[in-house]
Amino acid sequence: MGSTSGRITRREFVAASAAGVVAGSLARATWAAGLEQSAARGPFRVIIDTDPGVDDALALLLAMRSPELKIEGITPVAGNVPLELTLPNALRMVEIAGRTDIPVAAGAKAPLVRRLITAAQVHGENGLGGAVFPEPTTKPIAEPAAEFIRNTVRKHPGEVTLITIGPLTNIATALNSDSELAGLVPRLVMMGGSLSGGNVTPAAEFNIYVDPEAARVVFQSGIPITMVGLDVTRKTSLTEDHVRTLQAGQNAVSQAAAKIARNAIDHTRAQGFLIGPNMHDSLALAAFLDPSILKWKEYYVDVETAGELTAGETVGYSPTAGDDQRRPELAKQAAMAMQIRGSAPTLASTKTSAIVRDKFVPNTNVAVDVDSARFFDLLIGRLAGKT
């Protein structure tokens, strides 16, 4: 994890992260207990890494309307649109919410080793579905995002949860710069990935697709990860009723959210889609606020970085997934014996084994189902000022 180039080999990943993954597994019970009690305790220190983006913007507004959170900072990154737009969009959201006390630190303009692919066709050329707001007067802090993340985590070791709702370039850059940093992060809540197919390619979800090398750094880091991916976010379509509720809200946040939501729905319908847009990033934020909204299953998750057609695919390994179910008394034994396999070596390869890890150790709690009605009660209720 000490490399700063981002060009990390599979062997370096496995060697550097083995101890971290085991440590993450040992911390799982504490992590789960913390999630279940999150509504009762706090406020929780968080950094929100984001690429606003329609659903990012609503997620940021939700975060700033949530007293459970102590937002240490917001770190925009290039993703849905270039950094030249995600940065001012983040600044606009803190101004709309009246939270200019929150530091905003500019992040990466491009992925670690790839050219930037954006999603302007989904989020509009300005990233907010075409909704226009005044230019922000608030300025970002001078400290770059990766440095801000590193310094904030070190200032509050074991206290700062990373909520990532964009490509993971900023997080990976911070981790690559400090080999001890991962051990100081209690958990990372991510909107990203999918175990049921992608939305940019048949294999890859957008946030992971944009910077799969960065995602691999994060998944291999040993930080306990909560993955809120397309498996559940596809069930969170924004509706006309939601927009009307937001429009009726008598506060600046609700009115701004209604404007963004209205434009996002119109933009989606203009492209011929019958439903949507989906509130991917807001669901990840809600998952931290109230994890009981979702159902969870533990996996060992890794990221494909070499595939010509599958780069950015998140691959989930589990001894209890699939159709072949075991008797309960043998399930634990199967988990202990399960090997993590990669692709079989070719005749021309110098590799001698397809085994990536010799035993199954989960590194990720993956959301596998969601109560969409409860999610929207939380999201729309808080944005509209009802809760």
Q: What is the pLDDT of residues 345-357, one digit of tens each?
A: 888 887 767 888 8
Domain range summary for the chain, segments of one domain joined by +:
10-318+360-383
Q: What is the pTM of this model?
A: 0.88
Whether the per-residue pLDDT at 4 is higher than 50: the answer is: no
Residue 338's pLDDT is 84
Residue 323's pLDDT is 64
Q: Which CATH class is domain 10-318+360-383?
A: alpha beta
In degrees rounded to 5, what are phi and psi of residue 61?
Answer: -65, -40
- Which of 123, 242, 267, 280 does the annotation list as catalytic? 280
Q: What's the pLDDT band for 8 if we cut at 50, 70, 90?
A: very low
Give the mean model confidence (pLDDT) for residues 222-231: 98
Q: What is the chain's mean pLDDT, rounded?
A: 87
Give the mean model confidence (pLDDT) for residues 133-146: 96
Measure the CA–CA gap between 148 and 341, rounded to whole angstroms.
Answer: 37
Contact between 226 and 253 under an 8 Å Cβ cutoff? The reply is no
pLDDT digits (tens, 9 = 90+) for 14-39: 344 444 444 444 344 444 444 444 44
280 included as an active-site residue? yes
